Amino acid sequence: MDSREVEHVGPVLDGELIDDTLPQPRHRTVRRRFARWWQHSPRVPLWLKSKPQAVQAAKDGVVWMVKSPWRFLGAVVRGVVVGARWWRGWVKVRDYRTAAEESDKLADKFTEIRELTLFRWKVTGAVLAVLVLAVAVLDLVYGAKPLWIAGAVASFALAILGRRKDGSPGRKPALAGPRTLTWTMDPQVLVDAFRDAKLIGKDETLRLVQRATHVGNGWAITVDLPATRKAVDVVKNRDALASALAVDEVQLIVERVRGNGGHAGRVSMWVADEDPYARPPLRTPLLGVSAWDAWRPIPFGRDARDRRIDLPLVWTSLLVGAIPRQGKTFAARLAAAGLVLDAWVRLYVADFKAGKDWDAASQVAHRFMSGDEPEHVLSLVDWLVELVAEVQGRFRRMRDLDDLTCPESKVTPEMSRDRALNMPITALFIDEVQVPLEDRTPVEVQGKKLTAGEYIGELLTWLAKKGPAAGIVLVLATQRPDSKTIPSGLRAVLGSRFALRVMDWRDSNIVLGEQMNTRGFDSSRLLPSHKGVGILRPDGDTTAGADVLAMTVRTYYMPNEDWQTICRQGRALRESAGTLTGHAAGQDTTPTLDRAAVAQALGTGSPTLQAVEPETLPEPLAQVVDFLGDDLAEREFIPSAELVDALEVEPTAFGRQMGELGCRPTRDYVQTDNDQTRRVRGYLTADIRAAVDRALSRASADSEAGVDDG
């Protein structure tokens, strides 16, 4: 072998494999066990287990130290008062006198009472004389030091005598005033509040999941209810709990904890230190941005905990309802502001208030009008017909796109900015939507005569159902949220709802949804002074969490000058991107209309156009349908007593006839006029609608059979 092929690798060593997992020293095992015991032992305070809890406990301790001198002084003063009252009762022999009066022997005992009173006055004088003499002797012999010691001991005794106790005159100060120590140091206060509100029994208690901590401008705590108690009941009875805690209901937020960290009996609470809506509102943060992406949720307002609430608009729609002068137009313009700052968004703006609140939007809107005359209503009809045809065209074009460009039958951000596809996000804003919906101008649709309001309701309902997937956004605002103004079919398909203050709980339910007041959300209870404060029911994820049903939000403040600034900026963005079209570009062209295709789409896709004639239905179903009207689609449950009284029928026969038609009675909870909930017997409207469909199907089949026989 050639020596050049030999490679020297160094010495070769022999060895054996050994297990290097040596046993841990005993002190480490003891330390680990001690740490495990420390974290799980109920005897160790929570503030010694967690750094955040320790920090909070330190803050509480500092507050206690700062306030201690004043509390001590108050306790001493109360002790002096208590001692003076006791001495006055003792020296006047009040107990002896009361016993004599109750036994009707006051006259017989009067001499003894007078002698005892004089004796106790003498004892009082002698004690005072001895005290004065003792003070003088001590001061002469030992100086002032013993006197200071005696004074300190006496003050401590008086402070103990005058300490606050439960059951003092007036209400128990549960969370009233400064709550820094009242709540955090004494969780029993919260337990008593739950008992007073009748949310738990007298023998039941709460389990503390998360210790009360100061979050923002209030206190947050999470508790577990006793077994079989439900968090939804606490949310529903939030007013009673707020009363028990001695705070206004707007200061209390109660939410059920959902997801992996929650269950049906876990409640999260937050109590504000003061009215969270008493401060001036904040200006919209959109003033500080150069542009906005419409696919991002739009800054809408802040909740009571001062968390920013963003409102998603793409793939959904929004209904804003309120009585006049509560901030309805401001809220709608906030939703529009984010879309204005996106150069690729196409805007349709119809202001039926006929004011100047929306005039600045004419600088950016593809179509714009302001007025409340019949010609404006008919112009809106043309807009809606154009949008329905646009949605149909977009769906046809999406069918021809590959899966990479259009993975689903929905517009994507890339598609909305592709000029060749021509599918931009298109938003329709209608302020005072009740004006066109109530218009009685006759129009003819596919041979049928309808009012303009009915036709607009059908068009809006169709757009709300099918438009979001094609990039159409509807934002409707009204100051008359009632069942006759906005069709129930339209309300049912509007995703997001925002209810500012309304007149009563019925109007609140019309905006937010059926039975929302029984879940603790009633915008009629908002204070008149809280302008811009409403209940938001979002269709999508928000800062408060995806599982939050609704929340109270104060909208950002955006006066006319800020709105005009945003619209000018939106126009500049569109001019730079070359997307300024229609009215804003001076191109007031007539909408391209395909009425036949639109009428066909509505006729097949919207059954509400096919009005049900009561005379085609059997009795008493025809009477029920005639009485309920739009409520048949709006309400979920109809009490039997309401139907019997309205139709003036005999209850037993009526129940038998409804049963033969397939409507079986059931029991459900209803709200009474005095805000009480009681369980009554009645019918589900879903069963009534199913009975109507069956009756119409039978009538249609009989008609076809008659034609065939003929």
Query: Which domains does the chain show, CATH number per domain?
Result: 51-161 (no CATH), 188-272 (3.30.980), 298-604 (3.40.50.300), 612-709 (no CATH)
CA pair distance 183, 138, nearest whole angstrom: 46
pLDDT at 592: 64
- Are 558 and 283 within 8 A, CB to CB? yes
- Provide the token pair at 640: 């039997």
| Closest among 227, 236, 286 to 256, alpha carbons compared | 236
CA pair distance 554, 303, nearest whole angstrom: 6
Hey, what's the torsion of the CAs at 508, 514, 516, 518, to 10 degrees? 110
CA pair distance 238, 232, nearest whole angstrom: 10
CA pair distance 440, 448, nearest whole angstrom: 15
Other beta carbons less than 10 A from residue 180's beta carbon: 18
- Provide the token pair at 689: 């609608």
- Are 245 and 215 within 8 A, CB to CB? no
Which DSSP string do the residues of 619-670 spell out, in sequence order? TTHHHHHHHHTTHHHH-SEEEHHHHHHHHT--HHHHHHHHHHTT---EEEEE
- Provide the token pair at 111: 């001499």
- Provide the token pair at 42: 């109920």
Per residue in 421-437, pLDDT tens?
A: 999 999 999 999 999 99
- Are 257 and 266 within 8 A, CB to CB? yes
Q: What is the CA radius of gyration of the chain?
A: 38
DSSP three-state, residue 273: coil
Percent helix, percent strand, percent coil in the chain, to nearest 5: 45, 15, 35
pLDDT at 606: 38
pLDDT at 216: 75
Give the amino acid at 164: R
Q: How far is CA 66 from the centre of its chain?
A: 37
- Are 372 and 435 within 8 A, CB to CB? yes
- Provide the token pair at 90: 């003792």
- Are 472 and 391 within 8 A, CB to CB? yes
Residue 559, C-beta contacts closer than 8 angstroms, at least 6 positions apart: none
Judge if pTM exceeds 0.85. Answer: no
pLDDT at 364: 94
CA pair distance 197, 244, nearest whole angstrom: 6
CA angle 402–404–407, rounded 5-degree value: 85
Exposed/middle/buried for 425, CB within 10 Å: 0-12, 13-18, 19+? buried
CA pair distance 251, 271, nearest whole angstrom: 6
Per residue in 576-630, pLDDT tens?
A: 999 999 999 888 766 766 666 666 666 543 333 344 445 567 888 888 887 777 6
**β-strand partners of 666:** 682
| Closest among 477, 458, 478, 460 to 468, alpha carbons compared | 460
- Are 384 and 456 within 8 A, CB to CB? yes
Residue 92 DSSP code: T
Query: Where would I find the H helices in 142-237?
Result: 145-161, 188-196, 231-236
Ranges of the chain whose pLDDT falls below 50: 1-7, 9, 17-22, 166-185, 604-613, 707-708, 710
DSSP three-state, residue 447: coil
